[in-house]
Amino acid sequence: MRETERIPFHANWIWAEHNDQKNDWVAFRKSFSVTEVPKQAELLISADTKYWLYVNGRLAVNEGGLFRESLPGCGYADRVDIACYLQPGENVIALLAWFYGNEGRNNVNSGRAGLILESASLGLYSNESFLCRRHPGYGKVSGHTPAYLYGGDDISYRAGTDCEGFENPDFDESGFEPATVYQNEVWGDAYERPIPLHRLYPLQMLKEESTQGTVHCFTLPYAMTFSPYLRVEATGGEVIQIYTDHRATPGGPGDNSNMYNGHVFQYICKKGLNEYRFPAYIYGEHLYMEYTAALAPDVGVCESGFDCDITGSFHCDSDILNRVVEKAARTLYVCMRDNFMDCPDRERGQWIGDVSVQAPQVMFLLSKNARKLMKKAIYDFINLRKGDVLVGNVPGANFSELPGQSLNAISELGLLAQYYHYTGDLDVLQLAFEPAVNYLKLWSMDEQGLVRSREGGWPWFDHLNNVDAPVLENEWYYSALSFAQKMAQLLDDHRYDAFLAQRKQSIEAAFEKAFWQGKHYSSGSVVDERANAMAVLTGLCPKEHYNDICMVLISTFNASVYMENYVLMALCEMGFMKEAYLRMASRYYNLAVNENSTLWEDFFILGTTNHAWSGAPATIAFRYFLGIDTTDGFETFTVNPVKGLFQEMEASFATAKGQATVRVKGDQVEIIEK
């Protein structure tokens, strides 16, 4: 089951001859007439892999198509209203379609290129009446190999071919041929796209910042995903290489000695005036172009991204906290597109633990549209499970089960619980309840009454040192049991009550005896603040231990940025707000003061300079320091600010009715709703 309806196409899948070529770019055209312009003219379009739609020469869709899969073996279809682009009489639609022919951590390759399009109101149905040809301008950049952790490829564009301008109504179609019709043997059903089409921002022109030989550097206003633009007079044949400061990205902690190549672009000039914007995007904060001094092009970028706004902000009398929250918002936004991404440069994978950290940030920092991507992430996670195993990095060919992250997602602290808490949307619980219980049944209990460890694909609970996996696995499992009980109550589904209660009681009876060491929780000689924090958040830790646990959390620093989220939450839940702030200010200092507009992957080992799991301080600032909460999607909300931590605090965030601002000064609280 998906959150949207299946589209019963009546048109045909089409492409050029031989639809199994990798990195294949094909141009399509179709002429049609309307006697008068309708108020609405919907097209349904599905493509493997991406498309750009033009109507009468005007760009109507930038980077359409949503990565497979919606359900196993199935894809998506876009619904596009093109009425505003039509004119009485003759009209032309044109599409540039790109078949990746590869796959990675964010997409699945069907093995065959294809495009299907129909509009019942306009009488348009893709078939051999559509004209097409392979676009001779597009090719591969020689001498560079991407890491292929995600789908797509480098792009080389040669200007001046006889296909240039194919999107214009008066283009000479004589070089085009009837499209080839293909049977639907690989694409499966198409479900309506559950998220909006990506937003394309206006062109921003850039000024050159520096030059070193033939390498010219242009600084962007902030980290963004964007399409490069250039305008230049040339004699013909000159080559411009285009890349960003994220051309190669180090691996994360434990893998930081390896470098992973991203995509690069190349433009080969024609004689005379060249003006071109690349259709696909790259990511960075600095744009580099290699060209000879004789060219001197005008350079710009068109930012693109998820169709939502950064509506949240937070300010207090701590510059460190203010800067980290600001960076968290930018980090969150550039890690959203077809799916939530861990990073837009190295992997673009929907690691489900990362999304669980992102979930509350979405509610506080972004406009309402962003919640659609959260809901899609939940449907991806549940619908694309492998048997009873819940995996991360779906949709994607390189999925993997990290039991710690999958348990997180179905726990009281994770993606499902956070989404439900802030929206009250029972649909996701109805979808997830039985698969969550079936996943929990994969564990067995040992003779002590604790869970036996399951390695899954990767027995990972955090990067870095002193990870107390036995304690953490029991805690995450226990928290997932607790949320399954809550789902059962909310759904009035009591089939598994006995199983859930027995497992919880077993862990409760064994946990303290097995792991409490007098001043901290541990399965051995390691003192891990992550395991001690989770004991608090799951409720397994009695309150009489709180002072001892606080001492662990303010003196032990093993956690990566991912698990730091839960350490800070535990301090706040115990009431140690000042200690939480001081730990945060110390640990996030380097992330706050560096020149990047986004948050690093780790506190010390750089990895990516933009990573999805790094925005915990935003959650802490809104949820704990200001005490903002809602259970109905911000139709209403409560404010309970902490006293004495800051002299002043102010935050703004989107509500169901508009925008709210909360100002705190001393004991005075002012709430303004617009």
* CATH number of the domain residue 477 falls in: 1.50.10.10
pLDDT digits (tens, 9 = 90+) for 586-601: 999 999 999 999 999 9
| Average pLDDT score over residue span 545-555 | 98
Summarize the confidence of residues 572-597 as an average pLDDT.
97
pLDDT at residue 390, as a whole number: 98
pLDDT at residue 508 tops 90? yes
Instruction: Report pLDDT digits (tens) over 27-53.
Output: 999 999 999 999 999 999 999 999 999
Amino acid at 85: Y
Number of domains observed in the structure of the chain = 3
Do 366 and 421 belong to one domain?
yes
Q: Do residue 271 and residue 340 come from a single domain?
A: no
Q: Residue 463 corresponds to which tokens in the numbers above?
A: 């990067």
Contact indicator for 508, 528 with CB cutoff of 8 Å: no
Q: Is residue 644 over pLDDT 80?
A: yes
Regarding whether 603 and 525 lie in a shared domain, the answer is yes
pLDDT at 565 exceeding the cut of 90: yes
| SS3 state at 549 | helix
Tell me how far the alpha carbon of residue 574 is from its chain's centroid.
Answer: 32
pLDDT band at 1 (very low <50, low <70, confident <90, very high): confident
Q: Tell me how far apart the alpha carbons of residues 347 and 104 are, in angstroms, rounded to a whole number.
A: 8
Sorting pLDDT into bands at 50, 70 and 90, what band is 437? Answer: very high
Task: Tell me the torsion sign for CA atoms 97, 101, 105, 108.
Answer: positive
Q: What's the pLDDT at 252? A: 87
Same domain, 183 and 264: no
Instruction: Note whether residue 471 is domain-resident.
Output: yes
Identify whether residues 261 and 363 lie together within a single domain.
Answer: no
525 pLDDT higher than 90 = no
- Which residue blocks in 413-453 are alpha helix, DSSP H? 415-423, 427-440
Q: Residue 632: is its pLDDT beyond 90? A: no
Same-domain pairing of 492 and 633? yes
608 in Cβ contact with 247 (< 8 Å): no
Q: What is the mean pLDDT of residues 61-67?
A: 98
In DSSP terms, which residues pair with 652 in a beta bridge? Answer: 313, 661
Among 442-451, 494-503, 604-613, the range scoring the smallest mean pLDDT is 604-613
Q: Quick one: pLDDT at residue 253?
A: 85
**Domain span at residue 219?**
200-305
Predicted local distance difference test score (pLDDT) of residue 379: 98
| Buried b or exposed e, range 11-26, using 16+ CB within 10 angstroms | bbbbbbeebebebbbb
Asked, for residue 146, whether it belongs to a domain, the answer is no
Give 240's contacts (C-beta < 8 A, 6+ positions apart). 230, 232, 266, 267, 268, 269, 289, 290, 291, 295, 297
Q: How confident is the model at residue 256 (pLDDT cuts 50, 70, 90)?
A: confident
The string of pLDDT tens digits covering residues 391-425 is 999 999 999 999 999 999 999 999 999 999 999 99
Whether 190 and 225 map to the same domain: the answer is: no
Both 559 and 482 in one domain: the answer is yes
* Verdict on whether the full-model pTM lies above 0.85: yes
**Structure-block tokens of residue 309:** 């706004």
pLDDT of 550 higher than 80 = yes
Q: Which pLDDT belongs to residue 218?
A: 98
- Where residue 606 falls among pLDDT bands split at 50, 70, 90? confident
The reported pLDDT for the residue numbered 631 is 85
Structural domain contains residue 144 = no
Those residues whose C-beta lies under 8 Å from the C-beta of residue 561, and which sit 6 or more positions away, are: 591, 599, 600, 601, 602, 603, 611, 613, 614, 616
The answer on 213 and 114 residing in a single domain is no
- Per residue in 168-183, pLDDT (tens digit) is 999 999 999 999 999 9
Strand order in the sheet with 668-673: 313-316, 648-655, 658-665, 668-673
**143 in any annotated domain:** no
Whether residue 605 is predicted with pLDDT greater than 80 in this model: the reply is no
Q: Is residue 282 part of a domain?
A: yes
Residues 78-100 pLDDT 10s: 999 999 999 999 999 999 999 99
Q: How far apart are CA 510 and CA 642, in angstroms?
A: 35
**Integer angstrom CA distances of residue 619 from 224, 301, 529, 531, 628:** 22, 32, 19, 20, 10
- CATH code of the domain containing 60: 2.60.120.260
Residues in the chain: 674
**Same domain, yes or no, for 507 and 608?**
yes
C-alpha 387/C-alpha 48 separation (Å) is 26
